[in-house]
Amino acid sequence: MILEECTMEEFTQYLKKTKTIVFPFGTIEEHGRHLPLNTDTLIVKEAMLMAEKKRDFYLAPPIYYGVCTTTGKHPGTIGITAKTLRYLALDLVRDAYQKGLRNYLLISGHGGSLHMSALKEAAEILIDELDGINIAAISPYEVLYGELSGLCETKNDSHAGELETSVVLALAPHLVKGRSKEEYPQLPRPLIVRDKVKYWPGGVWGNPEKASEEKGRQALHIITNKIIELIDSINQKY
């Protein structure tokens, strides 16, 4: 059930089938010079729409803003703080609970460490606060790194690289504007620096030139199957 498209009556009736809701989280974040700012959101949204055709659950509209640290100073990135994301997740789940929902999947197309920590902290608070709920906060990339990496020719592929470019090619090829050059961040870890663009000017981690639509379709299949597995797991516990 697409939450934003249903009526009050449809919402109430659908509760007889499921008490599960999925909140997708993404970003407005640079993805090199060739991918759109909504890449993270686009991927998780479309994967969820594919899963929604195979399982019963409420699919909430995606949250387009997330916590962006390394990319925070790059052109186009517009982020929120970890505190804001945490409170947003808390408010959404608390209100959904009042409407009769009991199973929650907070799924993120963005895998940034502070971003995911905020969602997981919110889930920890909620599991202690709300009786009778099941909740997970996860990015598919956390649990599928091995499988998705196996699709790539590029070692250590990551942000705006071969994999993400491939998935956007499969979903919305008109949004892929050529290819950025292969690049990897040169941040002086463990130091935290203010001018991250200086050490990562192109905002790419990997080699977009090796991307293909077929790799993107395979990645989407893997991600969608994992989402379905997560939803089945949550439903079985209720």
pLDDT tens figures, 201-223: 999 999 999 999 999 999 999 99
pLDDT band at 11 (very low <50, low <70, confident <90, very high): very high
Give the mean pLDDT of 99-103. 98
Q: Is 165 helix (H, G, I), strand (E, B) or coil?
A: helix
**Peptide bond connecting 190 to the previous residue in cis, omega within 30 degrees of 0:** yes
223, 225, 228, 232 alpha-carbon torsion, rounded to 10°: -130
Give the mean pLDDT of 139-151. 92
pLDDT number for residue 235? 83
pLDDT number for residue 145? 87
pLDDT number for residue 93? 98
pLDDT number for residue 180? 98
**What percent of the chain stands above pLDDT 70?**
99
Looking at domain 14-231, its CATH superfamily turns out to be Creatininase (3.40.50.10310)
CA 19 to chain centre: 22
Say if CB 73 and CB 196 are below 8 A apart. Answer: yes
pLDDT averaged over every residue in the chain: 96
Q: How many residues are listed for the chain in this entry?
A: 238
Give the mean pLDDT of 58-64. 98
pLDDT at 238 over 70: no
pLDDT tens figures, 25-50: 999 999 999 999 999 999 999 999 99
Give the mean pLDDT of 151-162. 96
pLDDT number for residue 111? 95
Give the mean pLDDT of 101-130. 97
Sheet bearing 103-108, strands edge to edge:
58-59, 20-25, 103-108, 134-138
Q: Give the tokens for residue 213.
A: 């639509």
pLDDT at 179 over 90: yes
pLDDT number for residue 237? 60
pTM: 0.95
